[in-house]
Structure 1
Amino acid sequence: MVPYAAGVIVPLALTLLVRNSKKEKKRGVIVDDVGGEPGHVIRNHRFTDPVSSHWDDISTLPELFEVSCKVHADRFFLGTRKLISREVETSDDGKSFEKLHLGDYEWMTFGKTLDAVCNFASGLVHIGHKSEERIAIFADTREEWFISLQGCFRRNVTVVTIYSSLGEEALCHSLNETEVTTVICGNKELKKLMDISQQLETVKRVICMDDEFPSDASSSWKTTSFADVQKLGRENPVDPNFPLSADVAVIMYTSGSTGLPKGVMMTHGNVLATVSAVMTIVPDLGKRDIYMAYLPLAHILELAAESVMATIGIAIGYGSPLTLTDTSNKIKKGTKGDVTALKPTIMTAVPAILDRVRDGVRKKVDAKGGFAKKLFDFAYARRLSAINGSWFGAWGLEKLLWDLLVFGKIRAVLGGQIRYLLSGGAPLSGDTQRFINICVGAPIGQGYGLTETCAGGTFSEFDDTSVGRVGAPLPCSFVKLIDWPEGGYLTSDKPMPRGEIVIGGSNITLGYFKNEEKTREVYKVVDEKGMRWFYTGDIGQFHPDGCLEIIDRKKDIVKLQHGEYVSLGKVEAALSISPYVENIMVHADPFYSYCVALVVASQQTLEGWALKQGIDSANFEELCAKEQTVKEVYASLVNAAKQSRLEKFEIPAKIKLLGSPWTPESGLVTAALKLKRDVIKKEFSEDLTKLYAS
């Protein structure tokens, strides 16, 4: 009897202790004596002042990179898969798709990578590029991107980063505004440059990352291969020209949810502050880790993440969203996806990608039905109970059991070895965060930051199992809430202070390139305490433990005809849990008492429903237009709204179902998959008008 009692009481006591310790842990601390506009200010609980550098004798990125490469010289660093073949497959409807047969990863060591960077930096001098001129990197994420970046830093050349998915107008604007003289790109991007060559005012040189490129690339510039630039530098080495901490490292063009993209000027000190801060948050980063790189390096989340990995000595394997998993669009059947080949331990992901993983798992489970679905649902409920502190879960036994029976196969989708996921770029729903955490078996570190804050802001700690929050301030940042009375958000609100989020610290960038008016609008340059502040336009609230939760955005709030306020982002996040939703944009007109929505339908889910109903789904656009289909999707949206406890006026009264996906290439979403509201409203203006007229 005594052993039995101990077997129950000890785990129960342990559970209660863990629960109590979680409740009591302070992750953020109130700061009283801070300059600038009055507000509620929180700092990281471990650092009294914002961190600017983790190292006393290092103040720039090329210095940091060289030291890391010398320390980890013989370790694997950059990995790329060998391309075995390209094949074209034709579907039943006559459409052609390129499929890739990829081999294993081939690796460069840290030492060899430093050699490649030095050679490239020297090669830039010999092709005539001067340090005071700017270079643009316009390409998909790949090892040459990273080598180019570090090579430019070594010559104190400012790098202009441009999304490979950017349209012609935005591309011309970015290159001409920054007066770029050299562009580094791949073959695909070179073709885009050729189409607009007559509109580019300052480009003199193009470096193509691919060895084979059109001989008649353009008469407007000289085209050289990446390999030839390295060869020039290897044969004619040049001493480095290291920058200062205050020198501009990157002008990062945001993909922009409205209008033309803006160039954010980041100094070496800005990026170094973020790298220094993140290193203190993720525990036990080291030699056993492998990082999966596939998000755009033109996005600050990926650039910061790879900078952290390079600093610590972690191997980086490059992939693509189109070849990421065994079932990705461009992977030839029978070929391993990137994650299966690499088996990474760390990945970054934007919420839209994690939402798709969640939806994909749910669809497969629902399709199996029967005992398999019941087992999954039961296992999920028990794992959730264990996370929340069941006595069986206190020993970790339940996790082991259900991982073995159910979740191991799901974990294999991401390579089977993931121990930590970093999410950023947009708020991640609590439902998705918990689902991925349970099914993949790894915590998700959710962060909050912007290009303007060099990705710095907040980050959830490894042991924080809560969902729907973005953590406490990073060590490089102070985070302040200020009153926004027009929206009804005050720092005096109970039980939690609320207001617009303002971020200060050494990670705050210089401002927008050649856009002083916009810079003055959102940057409050050095206050009386010596702090730079950036006004985000996001609305947040601080929990008692000092963690931040994003609850709204000033620009996304619309006042309806009868005075009710609708938060478009909040409603979209709530409705996105419907299995029929691939993407959604809620629209509210202040001259009407209700809102409407454009819904991009999930083709797989909707066709599955149609099959069960005996409805012809050969033409997906026609299926989306059927009244019965619209009613089914709308009922699902209403159910999702009720689950999220939306008010009646927040639920769209009418919807338009769309069959074509919104992609960065279509120009309707950014590279981080955020909605471009103005572009979407213009594209579907007739549909929106009809929704209100009918």
Structure 2
Amino acid sequence: MKLKEDLNPILLLLFHLMVSIYTIITFLPSYLLSWVSQPDGGFYGSEEERAKRVKARSVEGCPEGPYRAVSATKRLVTSLHPGVDTLDKVFEYAATRFPHRDCLGTREVISEEDEQQSNGKVFKKVVLGEYRWLSYQETLTAATQLGSGLASLGQRPKTNIAIFCETRAEWIIAAQACFMYNFPLVTLYSTLGGPAIVHGLNETQVTHIITSKELLETRLKAILIEVPRLQHIIVVENTPTTWPSYPRGIGIHNMTAVQKLGARPENAARERKQPLPSDIAVIMYTSGSTGIPKGVMISHSNILAGITGMAQRIPNLCEEDTYIGYLPLAHVLELSAELVCVSHGCRIGYSSPQTLADQSTKIKRGSKGDTSVLQPTLMAAVPEIMDRIYKNVMNKVEEMNCVQRTLFILAYNYKLEQLAKGYSTPLCDRLVFRKVRSLLGGRTRVLLSGGAPLSAATQRFMNVCFCCPVGQGYGLTETCGAGTISELWDYSTGRVGGPLVCCEIKLKDWVEGGYRSTDKPHPRGEILIGGPNITMGYYKKEAKNQEDFFVDENGQRWFCTGDIGEFQEDGCLKIIDRKKDLVKLQAGEYVSLGKVEAMLKNCPLIDNICAYANSDEIYVIGFVVPNQKHLLALADQYGIRGSWEELCNSKAMEELVLKVITEAALTAQLERFEIPRKICLSPEPWTPETGLVTDAFKLKRKELKTRYQDDIERMYGGK
């Protein structure tokens, strides 16, 4: 995974001379310091040594498991603090311990303006000020008043209420209000289409919904007539105060007005009914990657167990940490991460993918993005975002002059070697990687990755250039996002770590796919996760519950993930396949579409790819979103002219891109039958707004198949 070296020998000699001098000067003090401090062995040693340390073991000694973390072999952990057994108590505990510390922060909007691009398109750009903070006590007060106000508007305990809103401070305030007053919170992605929103609201029979002004105007207004039970809409902004041209019978209120209503003495004095650990806290609707979104019922005790397991994998988590929230709070990864932070008194500053960095699409040139201002120490990201960062930085490296590029490559490869030996590289970090690290604020100490597999190349890049470990995790909405997270001192790639202390994992033979727990050298099979973090099931989907969940003879609840994994000698899990992504070709070969996509997404020419195969055909095809810079360079190299759309529709360009993809596939050691034989190029990127990927950027295969049906028929010779 080293960068390719084609270097000036004089520069090479100078670099190694400088590094040697620095190593000699710093070796003795660092050796003495490490000898005196006698650190925890888990954090030290070579990469190979750390990777071999046992993280989990089979409780019964059987290859199929169940496997538990070495610190939880006798008992699974269910809560962070004694007596704190519901989510309202978590926040009250934090507000008692950290009443005056910053809790939720939002940047002030100084100005907005339209900026015309060279292609004639107009983008809205913003200039943002500093973060303004609510303390833990102020946040608790705001949530208490909102909960009281909602009760005054007729919301009843154990009666569902919906939130359809972007990630922002008001989202968490509303969630805490619902937790306190035992209102089960129905969460919906803000990018869901109209039919999916209507389905979720009608299925859960909500009468109250919390949303933003923009989403009300652009997404909800058109479908209100299809949600007859809806009576009250609470808008998180304070303006406007009147709402003309909305259906009669629906009251629209600003959040501040509802909080003022809740603060009235006669309402504030009303006794609230506290939730039980077994009560539903959230009905979280999935992103719908496999069809109509399903509502997952999650109890207070489920979430508490999940965040307890996650928190245990983040060393030295405390009130000094700052987390940046920008992923959808309707996604279990983001909600769990923020609740982990709240439980430890961290501060959470809010952002969005459009304002995250200085170069983000909505940030005016010359002004600062959110990471530069907030300088977070903790961050969660989906692989798609880290892949983009990796490709953008490597493109910048290609544009450097000879000396700069040489220094970067030397430092990168040198640091890779030192990380493998278990050593740090403060000189390289300060002189070479500081500018790259500043893209995320410069203080990030932990990156959590989830939602999809992270490629080895991207993980190594983040380790090297951002000077921090990447905790790669595996979990699902049905497990509260909790399953595994790699130990932060384990820099090995391609694995997702051992089970968290809140759950256990076992493997079930999948004979049709050829995976068995008796396989050598590692046991393999479908991943089953059990423990107190396993949710209550799907809302009003009893047949699906019987299919995906079960309770064993000890009363423990389990979820069948549909993913295929293998346990390695040290107890780490590796995801190797997915039952739903496995397609049997006409000649009998099995193709894992997810594996093909993961291998090819590292190709610089590819921004996104969806592999497709039909069981009636003998080969794989693919839909590709090409990288604009690299595709234009390829077209220029072969003298092909045209607009972006014309290039993407060009047969000649398809053949050139396919040649590059085939070479990348062979380098990645894909089998011949796994390599796409034909492709089509998409001029439009796949974003959650297009409906072709989820908010976590997972492919929606059904929608992609519908979108590219004509191309599928063409590539398979239909026309």
Same fold, judged at TM 0.5 (above): yes
2:689 maps to 665
Secondary structure at 1:382 match in 2: helix
The equivalent of 2:473 in structure 1 is 447
Q: Where does the alignment leave 5 or more consecutive residues of structure 1 unmatched?
A: none
Report the counterpart of residue 513 of structure 2 in structure 1.
Answer: 487
Of the three residues 244, 250, 263, the one matched with 2:295 is: 263
- Describe the shift of the 1:653–1:6 C-alpha distance in structure 2 as closer, same or farther (beyond 3 A): closer
Alignment equivalent of 2:122, drawn from 82, 85, 96? 96
1:622 to 646, 649, 660: 646
* 1:286 is the counterpart of 2:312: no
Q: Does 1:198 align with 2:225?
A: yes
- Matched residues, percent identical? 45
Aligned to 1:309: 341
CA distance in 2, matches of 1:4, 1:355: 36
The answer to whether 1:211 aligns with 2:238 is yes
Post-superposition offset of 1:132: 3.3
Structure 1 residue 573 and structure 2 residue 601: aligned?
Answer: no
8 Å CA contact 1:167, 1:667 repeated in 2? yes
State whether structure 2 residue 50 is matched by structure 1 residue 26.
Answer: no
The amino acid that maps onto 1:441 is C
CA distance in 2, matches of 1:691, 1:4: 61
CA positional deviation for 1:6:
13
- 1:227-376 to 2 correspondences below 5 Å: 227-236=256-265, 237=268, 238-368=270-400, 370-376=402-408
Structure 1 residue 471, shift from structure 2 partner: 0.5
Q: 1:263 is aligned with what amino acid?
A: G
> Which of the numbers 675, 680, 683 marks the counterpart of 1:656?
680
Deviations 1:49-108 (A, max 9, x none): 221122221210001110111110011110000011221122233322111111110011
Report SS of the residue matched to 1:101: strand
CA distance in 1, matches of 2:447, 2:326: 13
Residue in 1 that maps onto 2:9: none
Deviation at 1:613, TM superposition (A): 5.5
What is the aligned partner in structure 2 of residue 223 from structure 1?
A: 252
Quick one: which of 88, 106, 114 aligns to 1:62? 88
Superimposed CA distance per residue, residues 89-130 of structure 1 (whole angstroms, 9 cap, x where no aligned partner) = 222333221111111100111111111111111111222222
* Aligned position for 2:615: 590
Distance in 2, matches of 1:18 and 1:434, equals 15
SS at match of 2:716: helix
Is 1:413 matched with 2:442?
A: no
1:645 correspondence with 2:669: yes
Q: Distance in 1 between matches of 2:419 and 2:177?
A: 46
For each residue in 1:237-287, what CA deviation from the matched residue of structure 2 results, as whole angstroms up to 9, or x when unmatched? 143321000000000000111221000000000000011112211100113
- Conserved? CA contact 1:187–1:208, under 8 Å: yes
Contact kept, 8 Å, 1:40 with 1:482, in 2: the verdict is no
Shift of 1:133: 2.2
Q: What TM-score do the two structures reach when normalised by structure 2?
A: 0.91
Supply the distance in 1 between the matched residues of 2:480 and 2:419 (Cα, whole angstroms). Answer: 33
SS at match of 1:441: coil
Q: Which amino acid aligns with 2:238?
A: D
**CA–CA distance in structure 1, aligned partners of residues 605 and 175 of structure 2:** 41
User: Which residue in 1 is equivalent to 2:566?
Assistant: 541
* Contact 2:145-2:259 at 8 Å conserved across structures: yes
Contact 1:85 1:100 in 2 (8 A): yes
Partner in structure 2 of residue 633 of structure 1: 657
Q: How far did residue 625 of structure 1 move?
A: 2.2
Query: Corresponding residue for 1:44?
Result: 69
Q: Which residues of structure 2 form unaligned runs of 5+?
A: 1-22, 36-42
**Aligned position for 1:130:** 156
CA–CA distance in 1 between the matches of 2:191 and 2:27?
Answer: 58
| Separation (CA, whole Å) in 2 of partners of 1:218 and 1:600 | 42
Deviation at 1:7, TM superposition (A): 6.6
Are 1:189 and 2:221 matched, yes or no? no
Counterpart AA for 1:574: M
Q: CA deviation at 1:18?
A: 4.1
Is 1:501 aligned to residue 530 of structure 2? no
What is the TM-score of this pair, normalised by structure 1?
Answer: 0.95
Shift of 1:611: 5.0
For 1:636 and 1:42, locate their aligned partners in 2 and report how far apart those are by CA, in whole Å: 42
1:563 shift after superposition: 1.1
Report the Cα offset of residue 382 of structure 1. 1.1
- Distance of 2:392 and 2:590 partners within structure 1: 33
Cα RMSD (Å): 2.2
Shift in alpha-carbon separation, 1:534–1:664, aligned structure 2, 3 A: same
Shift of 1:474: 0.3
* 2:64–2:523 contact (8 Å) kept in structure 1: no
Q: Helix, strand or coil for the counterpart of 1:486?
A: coil
The aligned length equals: 680
Verify the 8 A CA contact 2:225 2:247 in the aligned structure 1: no
Contact 2:47–2:419 under 8 Å retained in 1: no
The answer (yes or no) to whether the contact 1:423–1:447 under 8 Å persists in 2 is yes
2:713 corresponding residue in structure 1 = 689
- Structure 2 counterpart of 1:368, which letter? M
Task: Please state whether the residue corresponding to 1:163 is helix, strand or coil.
Answer: coil
Q: State the shift of 1:629 in Å.
A: 2.6
CA separation of 1:6/1:576 partners in 2, compared to 1, >3 Å: closer, same or farther?
Answer: closer
One-letter amino acid matched to 2:698: K
Aligned-residue offset at 1:21:
4.4
